[in-house]
Structure 1
């Protein structure tokens, strides 16, 4: 995987470290959980994972910047560069603190504003997903047991499996009824939420995943995986997702149908 092989190998190494920390704290009786200013939870595992990843990146990629959910933006230590790593130490913290195993560490590499590589590690599920731009998307327990993945070929909404998240979020932007209508028009709908719906989409198990608003660290790692699996991922205007934007991901053939249903 010329061009990003070293970066993906580093991402797997970072994920190994993250997994060892997070699994050690998952369902721990002494887990410490606090509320951030936006009232979302943060655990001691979130902060420990991000600190460990940042420490490794500072040594291995001093010319790259780092943006993380818990500690913000750190500029490159070795001068300005166009690359930055974007980290969500535990995506699905609410699941994590309640003992639900659907949570993971998200690691992305951006060149400029474009996500060129992404990795999602869900150790409680025993699975990872990763991709680099132009080289396909893969899944497996680790880098050396990989299977290439691709999206489904479903072309009709009435045959499609839809996932969504945060009904209250769709209500806040005035589109709750549109989500309800879209769900009723689909063959099946389930709220898997967080990273997991996007990974099921990339594997062809789902056909569409929609969310009202995500931060950059929530979506950056997902973009190359969905795209390299053959899918399409945009905001509600059909543009590339950015920080604090809606995210619409589909297998491709259904994209215009889903966008139209949410915007008409």
Structure 2
């Protein structure tokens, strides 16, 4: 099915994510994983800065009037000349092995100063009006650092509604039929058979294709769908590796209430969204660990659309759809419950019963 209205946006998103993913893989394999600390003390690698610069460069070239909400800002690069130089050496040499695709993205960034300026174009406050792109250059930085799952994430929102989403997952198996295993969250590499690009346009379904396949045809890819579940006891969950991101104890109680005996698969990033969208897993929960914490829109926008377009439903723990229209965070939501549409209500009921018992 053609996606004419957002065909260019989809193509640019796919290619921008692929180019950024090439940089992240170079960072990992060249062991240039120097880290700095952001204010919240979470690690951020040179790959985050480089990937964000490359994605914003592609968006600025093609959609110069669009706003951008991105995770990183360049203060550390401006303060640290060595770090800036390291990032620039990666950025200037990273390109797609397809001249036409590279030309569409605008080609190389001019110089290191232009790179720094591009990174800071991701400072939009977000909101309910206009075209806004959400970028997470490396979602799951800790997973990336340990060779586990991470994702390069990009989504377009129009008047607060997600219209286009792309997820590059370099360490997921290409095979859509490969079920999630306990070891998926660590000791993965992007050897042959790994690296997936998920994408979706609202109302037109979701697809997957090998991340290494660079094409100017946005329609390339296999349709994906969530696994039909007749018996919830045979389902499996995936959840965050970090206990600070999701309550593991509550998840175990929910599994017990639903009669699910398979251990939860723990992995980083929006790779969880992609995994359940193609039926490799079934249910993704991100349960609140704090009454005040607000999820960031870049951590969920692309994955939310891809799961819904694959036949799933995504809400918060109160049953409300995720609201991307209120700024840089999901201020109107708490937690995430993603599951096949047919069983989402039952999963949500179990979530609410477990959480309410703690009040």
**TM-score, normalised on structure 2?**
0.67
The superposition leaves residues 165-202 of structure 1 with CA deviations (integer Å, 9 ceiling, x where unpaired) of 2434444xxxx543112233214222233212211111
Task: Give the aligned partner of residue 91 of structure 1.
Answer: 139
Residue 20 to residue 154, structure 1, CA distance change in 2 (3 Å): same
2:164 aligned partner = 117
After TM superposition, list the pairs within 5 Å mapping 1:60-139 onto structure 2. Answer: 60-71=62-73, 73-75=122-124, 82-100=130-148, 102-123=149-170, 124=190, 125-139=194-208
Map 1:36-55; keep pairs closer than 5 Å: 36-55=38-57
- TM-score, normalising length from structure 1? 0.89
Contiguous gaps of at least 5 residues in structure 1: none
Larger Rg: 2
Instruction: Note the aligned Cα RMSD (angstroms).
Output: 2.2
Preserved CA contact (<8 Å) 2:154 2:167: yes
Alpha-carbon distance in 2 for matches of 1:122, 1:193: 11
Distance in 1, matches of 2:158 and 2:6, equals 11
1:99 CA displacement: 2.6
Report if aligned partners of 1:27, 1:99 keep a CA contact under 8 Å in 2.
no
- State the partner residue of 2:306: 225
1:178 aligns with 2:250: yes
Deviations 1:110-149 (A, max 9, x none): 0111111100012333211000001110001145651100
Equivalent-residue separation in structure 1 for 2:17 and 2:312 (angstroms): 24
Q: Distance in 1 between matches of 2:138 and 2:202?
A: 24
Residues 1:202 and 2:277 aligned together: yes
Partner of residue 183, structure 2: none
1:241 paired to 2:312: no
Does the aligned pair in 1 maintain the 2:153–2:167 contact within 8 Å?
Answer: yes
From 243, 257, 261, the equivalent of 2:346 is 257
1:104 positional shift: 1.6
Unaligned runs of 5+ in 2: 74-119, 171-189, 289-294, 324-328, 354-359
Extract structure 1 runs of 4+ deviating beyond 6 A.
none
Name the stretch that deviates more: 215-224 or 11-20: 11-20
